[in-house]
């Protein structure tokens, strides 16, 4: 590989470039996964203002009120920050970017039984990495399949432009934006085993199914990264971090953009 790491094969690199996504196995040990599970089990039973605000005691019809996603846990939890900067993940990203990655965001999804999915969307619509793009590292903490709400991707849309979204179906999606796939292209499920990591390009159209099970969570630890040569990023994602934990403060990409300021009112990522 040109960057000297060579963690990915030429075939894997070609898969990512052609299809826009790639599953890599074996990046987390069983001990790593256990530590992530324990950390977010503890976080899931508390309130962290601005990051995780569940309705702990209320009787609610929407399971996502009890288990909303955790936003930017790396900003208040050292274990989350450690795994956002997990060396095997960083090595894969260095291959994909062909330069050092900068960590921009962390999230944890519990996705409890019965919870809604997320409408199809594009990540760099929100992160606004320029020049370059973002890449997501989506780690399955539980097995993910069509029944418990696996991710959906629209292959090859990594080469599709960022488009202004339509309004999503609130009965099926907990976020409000929806990006329609190009004509004759369909979303396909990504079935993953525990510990698998899905990497995908910031233009790739993706979303997720509703969790149709009665007893299975679909937990995922998800981080987004920018290329080191980027100059600007959306203001919510600053500061970024190098692999050694050193903060990097890129310029804030102005609000609004080509789709207008109304799209800034919701912060779905």
**DSSP for 156-182?**
TGGGSPP---EE--TTTBSSSEE-PPP
**pTM summary value:** 0.93
Of 268, 109, 120, 106, the C-alpha closest to 189 is 120
Pairing mode, strands 251-253 and 232-234: parallel
Nearest Cα to 230, choosing from 124, 121, 85, 90?
124
Res 1: pLDDT: 37
Q: Alpha-carbon distance 61 to 192, whole Å?
A: 28
Structural domain boundaries in the chain: 10-45+60-264
pLDDT interval class at 265 (50, 70, 90): very low
Cβ atoms of 269 and 174 within 8 Å: the answer is no
Arithmetic mean of pLDDT, 35-64: 92
Number of Cβ within 10 Å of residue 206's Cβ equals: 24
Across the range 125-139, mean pLDDT stands at 97
- How many percent of the chain have pLDDT more than 90? 83
**Structure confidence by residue, pLDDT tens digits, 196-221:** 999 999 999 999 999 999 999 999 99
Read off the pLDDT of residues 217-226 as tens digits, 9 standing for 90 and up: 999 999 999 9
CATH architecture for segment(s) 10-45+60-264: Sandwich (2.60)
Mean local confidence (pLDDT), 222-243: 97
């Amino acid at each position: 590989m040109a960057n000297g790491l060579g963690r990915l094969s030429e075939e894997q690199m070609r898969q990512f470039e052609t299809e826009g996504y790639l599953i890599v196995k074996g990046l987390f040990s069983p001990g790593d996964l256990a530590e992530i599970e324990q950390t977010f089990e503890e976080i899931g039973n508390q309130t962290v203002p601005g990051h995780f605000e569940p309705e702990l005691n209320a009787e609610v019809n929407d399971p996502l009120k009890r288990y909303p996603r955790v936003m930017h846990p790396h900003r208040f939890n050292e274990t989350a920050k450690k795994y956002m900067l997990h060396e095997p993940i960083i090595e894969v990203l260095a291959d994909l970017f062909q330069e050092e990655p900068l960590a921009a965001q962390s999230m944890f999804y519990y996705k409890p039984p019965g919870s809604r999915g997320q409408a199809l969307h594009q990540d760099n619509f929100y992160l606004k990495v320029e020049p370059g793009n973002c890449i997501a590292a989506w780690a399955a903490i539980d097995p993910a399949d069509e029944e418990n709400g696996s991710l959906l991707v629209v292959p090859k849309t990594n080469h599709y432009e960022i488009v202004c979204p339509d309004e999503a179906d609130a009965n099926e999606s907990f976020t409000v934006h929806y990006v329609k796939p190009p004509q004759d292209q369909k979303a396909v499920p990504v079935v993953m085993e525990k510990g698998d990591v899905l990497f995908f390009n910031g233009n790739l159209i993706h979303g997720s199914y509703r969790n149709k099970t009665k007893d299975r969570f679909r937990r995922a630890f998800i981080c987004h990264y920018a290329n080191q040569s980027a100059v600007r990023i959306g203001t919510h994602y600053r500061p970024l971090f190098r692999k050694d934990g050193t903060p990097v403060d890129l310029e804030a990409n102005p609000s609004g953009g080509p789709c207008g300021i109304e799209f800034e009112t919701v912060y779905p990522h």
